[in-house]
Each structure stands twice: as C-alpha cells, then as structure tokens.
C-alpha cells in the first residue's frame, strides 16, 4: 500500500480527527516508516505522515507539535537516521507520548540513530523501538490508544491470538 503525506486517511475516515502523527526527518526515510502507517491502518487508527527535521526545519517541528493536541493527535511517532534528534526534540515540546524509531542507512548502520534516540536525559522520555522498528512503533501507538478503548483492545487481543494460532499451525505443518 502506498501512503501519501496529506492526511492520508481523511478519505477513509471522513471527518475523523487524526490520532497518530508519523513524522520523519527526510523523504528518504519514507520506505522505512511506511510500516507504522500500515499497522495503524490495519487497526483503523487515523494517522498522518509528515516530513520535518529537528535540524533542517526546527521551527516547523515546534509549530506542528504545539498544534498537534488540538488536531486530535494523541501519540507521535518519529523516525530519523544519523544524529537522530527528531524524537527528542518533539518530546521536548509536548507531553504527548513520543515513540522514536532509529533508522539505518548511515555508515554506522543506525547505531548512531539508536543511541541518539534512546539516550534521552531524565525528565523527557522517548519510547524507543528497534532500529527500523516502524511496525512495532505503530503497534505500540495502537496499544497506547487502546487504554480505555475496549473495541481497540479487542482488536489487539484478536491480533495476538492470530499470531499464536499461526505459529501453532506452522508447527503442525512442519512436524
């Protein structure tokens, strides 16, 4: 599935407020960040993808994050590579939960982005997933939104049950 950057689910969820922001530092990050949008779509959670950089467009980041809660954003996912400061910068400007996705592609294969994202100073947390772990970032956002949302919780339980079922079936077919 191909996702564009303009409130991608507004056609599907007509009138729905955005719930999750999927931010990335560069257009070159898009192939790795699509998985977050895909899992959110799987669970019917509206999201929007935006490109903004902690270094190249710091003012835009600040403005976007300041307005996010009024637009319905409840969780922010940030993917960036190299000296990845996007998640930390976003977290500095909001009390919304921020999930950081360190991205590979650098000379250090994403180890640089991992440390930049995960090693936040006390007081400003970023929930960091694995290098290129955009899928899990999307899933974690769903789990956060499922708190107090029985319908979404039920979908997560079904998702977990299917994973178990698929593994059991795999074992049966290969025993």
Q: Applying CB under 6 A, which residues contact ligand RP5?
A: 25-26, 28-29, 53, 80-82, 103, 105
How near is the Cβ of 169 to ligand RP5 at its closest, in Å?
A: 38
Between 81 and 88, CB nearer to ligand RP5: 81
Alpha helix (H) residue ranges in the chain:
30-42, 58-67, 86-93, 111-118, 134-146, 150-173
How near is the Cβ of 161 to ligand RP5 at its closest, in Å?
A: 36
- Phi first, then psi, for residue 170 (nearest 5°) are -60, -45
How near is the Cβ of 86 to ligand RP5 at its closest, in Å?
A: 7
Sign of CA dihedral 58, 64, 69, 72: negative
End-to-end CA distance of the chain: 35
Between 82 and 134, CB nearer to ligand RP5: 82
Between 46 and 133, CB nearer to ligand RP5: 133
Between 106 and 143, CB nearer to ligand RP5: 106
Please state, as a whole number, how many other Cβ atoms lie within 10 Å of the Cβ of residue 105. 17
How near is the Cβ of 133 to ligand RP5 at its closest, in Å?
A: 14
Nearest by Cα to 130 from 109, 146, 144: 109
Tokens 């899990």 map to which residue? 136
């Amino acid at each position: 599935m191909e996702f564009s950057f303009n409130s991608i689910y507004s056609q599907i969820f007509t009138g729905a407020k955005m719930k999750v922001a999927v931010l990335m530092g560069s257009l070159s990050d898009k192939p790795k960040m699509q998985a977050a949008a895909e899992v959110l779509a799987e669970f019917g959670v509206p999201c929007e993808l935006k490109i903004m950089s902690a270094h190249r467009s710091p003012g835009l980041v600040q403005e976007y994050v300041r307005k996010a809660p009024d637009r319905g954003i409840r969780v922010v996912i940030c993917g960036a590579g190299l000296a990845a400061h996007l998640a930390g910068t976003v977290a500095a400007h909001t009390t919304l939960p921020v999930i950081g996705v360190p991205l590979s592609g650098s000379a250090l294969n994403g180890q640089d982005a991992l440390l930049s994202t995960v090693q936040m100073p006390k007081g400003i947390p970023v929930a960091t997933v694995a290098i290129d772990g955009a899928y899990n970032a999307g899933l974690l956002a769903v789990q956060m939104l499922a708190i107090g949302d029985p319908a979404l919780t039920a979908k997560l339980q079904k998702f977990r049950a299917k994973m178990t079922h698929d593994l059991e079936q795999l074992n049966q077919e290969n025993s």
